[in-house]
Structure 1
Amino acid sequence: MGIYDIKVIKRENLQDKEVSLSEYQGKVMLIVNTATGCGLTPQYEALEKLYRKYQSVDFTILDFPCNQFMEQAKGNDEEISSFCTLKYDTTFPRFKKIDVNGENESPLYTFLKNAIEERDDNGFSFKNLLLSLTSKINGKSGKKSDIKWNFEKFLVDKNGNVVKRFAPTVTPGEIESEIVKLLKV
């Protein structure tokens, strides 16, 4: 099974719509689990900047809100969408709120985590800090491949290969050069 075989629920005009990720075949994708009440939420602004800059050359961002990390994505899908649109003027595709870890984890995130376990943290040991904090907060240790916090990012090439995984603290601006390499622009 490849990434293009996976179906997800997209929020469109206040409706849930099942879509296949094959709709994004031929595009470079940056897949991000997000939250609206997190200290990293301002990354939405930089994500939107990247999206607007490169969407015309086969780049997209796929936004998957997640409430698993200290319940920082409160509200329903409409409230999350409204917040992102009003506060950050986001226009990239947003999907229904999902779980990225555990027994109800989205098949997309199972695929992504199996494809690439290690994250690029730009030299910052955020991973180890979050591993210990999340295990204390959640009362369980979790798997090494688990998503550790909001705004962890996966970069997927035009052929559907997961090529890089970035820690939450790696900003969209720091990822831009990797995106440009894949876009060949």
Structure 2
Amino acid sequence: MRRIGLLPALGWLIMGGALLLGSASGVQAQTPTSCDTSFAQAQEAYYAAEFEAAVARLRPCAQERTLPDSVRARMYRLLGFVYLGQNDETAARRAVESLLDLQPEYAPDPAQDRPDFVALVEQAKKRRRARAEAQEDENRRWLRWTLGAAAAALGTAAVLLIGGGDSGDGSEPLSPPPPPPE
């Protein structure tokens, strides 16, 4: 064998291996096409009760911010189903909250969706409405307090500017009371 031919071949082999390792360890962004494939595989895993496999397929796409919200919402919907299938209501609730963050007006379809999922969405929407109403009440309370304080300050300022302690009828001020008897 010739030594000159072996060294360049060895160099190319090392460089190719480094590139292969570098690309394997790099974080790859999900694309709509790969997420469509992941969704289909996750749906099959869900129907086969392979919940961990379904979560592994769904989670990266659901968290990928570059994907359209409608795609991510579809992922969170199926994640909610999967977590309910695992009897993990806390994780299912988080998935539903994430879904509603993306699509606040989302309405489940009782004819197609799991009944426990439909109930979970309705509960989450009810909690969101209650929080929004409480925040509005707090804002109104703050506004009433601010307006009341401003009115009191304006009233005090008006009294001080208009006359201080003068009754305004031209009469003399009251004289001090006599000293107590000795």
TM range (shorter): under 0.3
Q: Decide which structure has greater strand share.
A: 1
Q: Decide which structure has greater helix share.
A: 2
TM-score (norm 1): 0.23
Per chain length, whose mean CA-contact separation is higher, i.e. which structure has more relative contact order (CA < 8 Å, sep 6+)? Answer: 1
TM-score (norm 2): 0.23
